Structure 1
Amino acid sequence: MIDTHVHFWNFDPVRDAWINEEMNAIRKDFTPKNLIRTYSELQITGCIAVQANQAEEENNFLLTLAEQNEIIKGIVGWVDLKNKNLEERLNYWSSFKTIKGWRHVLQAENADFILSEDFVRGIKTLKKFNYTYDLLCYHDQLPDIIKLVDKAADQPYVLDHCGKPDVKSQDLKTWAENIKILAQNPNVYCKLSALLVEADWKNWKEIEIFNCFDVIFEHFGTNRVMYGSDWPVVLLSRPYADWFNLVAKYASKFTIQEKENLFLNCASSFYKLESQDLL
């Protein structure tokens, strides 16, 4: 089993200002060593490490961790997609095979950034290097994400955290409509991750999470959805195992093949994990 969404950091209160005092549980260092016991207990064999810092030095940080920790099977790094020298940078990073794709924190950007000509050009450039792209946005940004995807429709994308629906209010109608549109592109996958963080951290109900799962599987099916934890951010709500067990409970009605797709095959296919990566 592969966890497609984890973060590692050496906490810096200035650089990581988004981790405010309300998030005290994660205002500290997190390394692969913190995951090993949990992964062993749950029989998870590895993870995709996803950028948390928007600087190319993040790529070097994650690459070093991957060299030292075999649980890291792939990396989603950061590169400036609006850089006029983007091809040169991608050519450089392409020599590091552990880097599978890229992400920018679009949830912090507006439509002018997301749909700008140079950003779209950057997305289109990724295809030349066989890179994936992780889409990180809030539910109310999905219309802009749909437009972005339409402008570079043949690029492989994965929607992080189900597009961050408003789990707490359960106002899901518009989000579900946008998910339906986005999922019509067969090159878009979805990560089943982070919904506890979008819910009432301490008082969420199982049905609130499952209502969101229902929408995702209705439109993406079981061939384009992959399991992710969003660790350590998930710790704001519950221990890692609580999230994993919640997903496993929902998937208990799935066939063996559908479970394998959710926990392994979709991740392996999307991020082009080789057999040796999975050992």
Structure 2
Amino acid sequence: MKIDAHQHFWQYNPEKHAWIEDHMSTIRQDFLPKDLKPLLDKAGVEGTVAVQADESFDENTFLLQLAKENSFIKKVVGWVDLRSLSLEKSLEEYSTNPSMAGFRMILQGQPPALMDDISFRNGMAKLKNYGYTYDILVFPHHLRATLDLVSHFPDQPFVIDHLAKPYIKDGKIDEWASWMKKIASFDNVHCKVSGMVTEANWKSWTSAELNPYIEVVLEAFGAERLMFGSDWPVQLLAAEYQQYHDLLSDYISSLSAVEQANIMGNNAAKFYGIQ
């Protein structure tokens, strides 16, 4: 099964989606299943994982309802505050909904030290009791803290979103690559090959510019721990859905059929528990 392991939905609200700044005005609109489904069909993608774009319980309710109404939305990655005193109650409530696969907090906007906070770590320790995954959304300057985090939770399934957003536009790769290789040494950590085009120059990126970053994570994580993800509709700032799908498909075309199938869907199905 071909699966897009990372995409979003929203009904645009200027306050809720204040992160969509003026230079991103092209995505200041609603993006719903009816908008994505034709793109998936064209690319032969059979299912998706819908990931939170707003840190609220209302966002979880919204995404879980969309998953209930649209069979192609196979799983949801929602939001909880791992530091909350009511975390256990929330996890118990969501455990009754089979569409909820895991959670993430938007750590990219937080200081790296948050991942070392005792309340954050105590919350992280609870996830495995419910079989939940955790998506790590960070920038390269968070990777030292990310390494420390994953090393303390070897039984927790982690996946790094968007290759940890390397500084592609600036051509920086060496330090990022070093940290990613260290993180990949923990076999409970996966990586989504998603969101790359928006870390490059939106108007002038080339596959030759992106390929070295794919090469790093392919070497580090192997074909068994990489996942295709589009980051639609955010990716529309720099590329159409089919364009990004084909970019990754072309890069991995020299791999075996099994390895290609793993990256394009099987790994995500196993990680998120998609049947």
Give the aligned CA root-mean-square deviation in angstroms. 0.8
**Structure 2 counterpart of 1:265:** 266
How many residue pairs align between the two structures?
274
**Structure 2 counterpart of 1:78:** 79
**Structure 2 counterpart of 1:25:** 26
d(CA) in 1 for partners of 2:206 and 2:264? 23
d(CA) in 2 for partners of 1:110 and 1:150? 19
Secondary structure (helix, strand or coil) at the match of 2:104 reads strand
**Structure 2 counterpart of 1:60:** 61
d(CA) in 1 for partners of 2:10 and 2:261? 30
d(CA) in 2 for partners of 1:205 and 1:75? 31
Shift of 1:165: 0.6
Counterpart code for 2:67: A
d(CA) in 1 for partners of 2:101 and 2:231? 18
CA contact (8 A) 2:113 2:145 kept: no
Shift of 1:202: 0.6
Shift of 1:46: 1.0
Q: Tell me the alpha carbon deviations over residues 185-211 of structure 1, each in whole angstroms, 9 at most, x when there is no partner.
A: 000000000000000001112111100
**Structure 1 counterpart of 2:152:** 151
**Structure 2 counterpart of 1:177:** 178
CA contact (8 A) 2:47 2:74 kept: yes
d(CA) in 2 for partners of 1:85 and 1:237? 39
d(CA) in 2 for partners of 1:239 and 1:210? 18
Q: Give the percent of matched residue pairs that are identical in Structure 1 and Structure 2.
A: 39
**Structure 2 counterpart of 1:277:** none
d(CA) in 2 for partners of 1:151 and 1:12? 38
Counterpart code for 1:267: A
Shift of 1:60: 0.5
Q: Greater CA deviation, 61-70 or 221-230?
A: 61-70
d(CA) in 2 for partners of 1:126 and 1:81? 9
Q: 2:213 matched to 1:212? A: yes
TM-score w.r.t. length of structure 1: 0.97
CA contact (8 A) 1:120 1:152 kept: no
d(CA) in 2 for partners of 1:224 and 1:72? 21
**Structure 1 counterpart of 2:88:** 87
- Unaligned ranges ≥5, structure 1: 275-279
Counterpart code for 2:29: K
d(CA) in 1 for partners of 2:196 and 2:78? 22
CA contact (8 A) 1:76 1:101 kept: yes
Aligned pairs for 1:221-260 (under 5 A) are 221-260=222-261
Shift of 1:252: 0.9
Shift of 1:135: 0.3
Counterpart code for 1:185: F
Q: Tell me the alpha carbon deviations over residues 228-260 of structure 1, each in whole angstroms, 9 at most, x when there is no partner.
A: 000000000011111001001101111100011
CA contact (8 A) 2:136 2:160 kept: yes
Shift of 1:86: 1.2
Secondary structure (helix, strand or coil) at the match of 1:35 reads helix
**Structure 2 counterpart of 1:122:** 123
Secondary structure (helix, strand or coil) at the match of 2:6 reads strand
Aligned pairs for 1:133-144 (under 5 A) are 133-144=134-145
- Unaligned ranges ≥5, structure 2: none
